[in-house]
Structure 1
């Protein structure tokens, strides 16, 4: 159950009470359903009826919570309150990549700088901005137009800088296989198609987007103390284009590795980790996904003054 927020924001306190009620309702329905199952002696018809009732009741609870707020809705994420647009809130509900958020909280501090490469709708950017505060900075990179629209809505009342560009090992314009608001789009159509079934009503459309190397971005943004990369198999290309950044500024990194997508993009896990080793990084797997994805925390062997900020 979420803890009480550290702020005295009225909306956040209301949400705490509503969230408690929501979870209490879920537990109550779960207990009620267990009782029904015991008394029905395995009556499948009764079981299915009560399952439908439970589903409808929980949806109604969610709607009541949502109706109390307009525009953005609050959610509690590893010790911090952030506000999300309605379409993002219902799917996240405060439990977004807990091991990754814990790593961000451990390796980022007030006044730090966070680069969110593959920012998606901005959840981790919002979380990081709470940690670094007004003296720090957050840059969110996201090339997919449909996702950028949601990202901008989520961060509009913050100082987060949105850069609607892709990251790779070249500077120019490149074809991007977008799929509406899908957060699994990529520079390779075959990669985007892997998760196409989740948004079947949104066709894959090849568009042109700006792509930049992270070394090039250094001319525009202060170097990060923590760099997160989650770009659907293009992580190797991002590392290739960050030689100066990694050698000169040594940021701590969180990299989500997509083995299948990486292979479809012409890379491999072996080459990715060889690159990290060449830049004198060590790494630890901190999270694994049932789909074969995993996240590594990469630390520079020789910390610089910049990486400790």
Structure 2
């Protein structure tokens, strides 16, 4: 029996996320990319949002999604389930294949709105297909990147994994892995987003180190709406983008925002959302920024 055939036998175990699923998945070769080079594309319904997801399980992150039945970043999804409500607005900047776009569409329902930005033309086609196949009329797609001003930038794709695209300088050791480059126009978010957005506005930013530029390009939106903001915080990515964690914090603090680490904790057989103040400037990879004039705290009081 092939290793990839054996691992399918634990699918009911991984989908339920029972204790030890990760070690079992690893032991049976779930992380060994060479075993999955010729793996087929599969379509499943997400267990959180119930929308169709077509997954290329030769790619590690899509393989994880297939075996879990959900996008692998659990902390963000648990936050969205608890915080994003029908009639709200969600801005997905760096939408990639649309895993969080689908989650947001379920949370805001057709009474809300989702705006998703993805500059990679290959990835965007799959994002577009996911939205079309699930008939998500509340989702508006934008095939572009965002920054602090309109300009031309080079999007570099590193290896053949669809998620590995960046507008920042690629590390020297990764340059042999570059698979393609695109000259693209990036825009200020303020120039694209509508003036009025329904409900509470949530903005998720995951742009491989250009988070400070994107935030500056949303200046009017931030000052007008005081949206809930979630950013990826990876020091190496920010440094490649010519910034730092300190600069990102200073920008957010200048708008009056406070940071909270987004994480999960296990209770019994399940993981639950946890929001904490960073200590000693230690931040999790995903950080929540809240403004005192935003009334989200009432929805999340039990998680602080």
Q: Give me the TM-score of the superposition, normalised by structure 2.
A: 0.70
- Give the drift of 1:299: 0.6
Cα distance in 2 between the residues matched to 1:124 and 1:51 = 28
1:23 is the counterpart of 2:5 = no
Q: Classify 1:117/1:21 alpha carbon distance in 2 versus 1 (closer, same or farther; 3 Å).
A: same
Following superposition of structure 1 onto structure 2, how do residues 1-309 of structure 1 map, counting pairs within 5 Å? Answer: 22-23=11-12, 66=42, 72-77=43-48, 80-87=49-56, 90-93=63-66, 94-95=69-70, 96-156=72-132, 157-159=135-137, 160-179=139-158, 182-190=162-170, 203-219=178-194, 222=197, 225-287=201-263, 294-303=285-294
Backbone CA RMSD of aligned residues: 3.5
Q: Classify 1:162/1:98 alpha carbon distance in 2 versus 1 (closer, same or farther; 3 Å).
A: same
- Give the drift of 1:82: 2.1
- Give the drift of 1:106: 2.0
SS of match in other structure, 1:178: strand
- Give the drift of 1:25: 9.9
Partners of 1:254 and 1:295 within 8 A in 2: yes
SS of match in other structure, 2:165: coil
Q: Classify 1:210/1:219 alpha carbon distance in 2 versus 1 (closer, same or farther; 3 Å).
A: farther
Q: Classify 1:25/1:283 alpha carbon distance in 2 versus 1 (closer, same or farther; 3 Å).
A: closer
Which is richer in helix?
Answer: 1
Partners of 1:147 and 1:181 within 8 A in 2: no
Partners of 1:146 and 1:181 within 8 A in 2: no
Over 6 Å off, 4+ runs: 193-197
Gaps of 5+ in 2: 1-7, 17-26, 265-282, 300-304
Q: Which residue of 2 aligns with 1:10?
A: none
- Give the drift of 1:244: 1.1
- Give the drift of 1:169: 0.7
Cα distance in 2 between the residues matched to 1:276 and 1:170 = 18
Cα distance in 2 between the residues matched to 1:265 and 1:302 = 30
Partners of 2:93 and 2:204 within 8 A in 1: yes
- Give the drift of 1:196: 7.2
Cα distance in 2 between the residues matched to 1:175 and 1:141 = 16
Q: How many residues align?
A: 245
- Give the drift of 1:91: 3.3
Cα distance in 2 between the residues matched to 1:208 and 1:81 = 36
- Give the drift of 1:184: 2.4
SS of match in other structure, 2:129: helix
Q: Report which of the two structures shows the higher radius of gyration computed on alpha carbons.
A: 1
Gaps of 5+ in 1: 1-18, 28-49, 67-71
SS of match in other structure, 2:50: strand
Partners of 2:94 and 2:117 within 8 A in 1: yes
Q: Give me the TM-score of the superposition, normalised by structure 1.
A: 0.69
Cα distance in 1 between the residues matched to 2:155 and 2:14 = 44
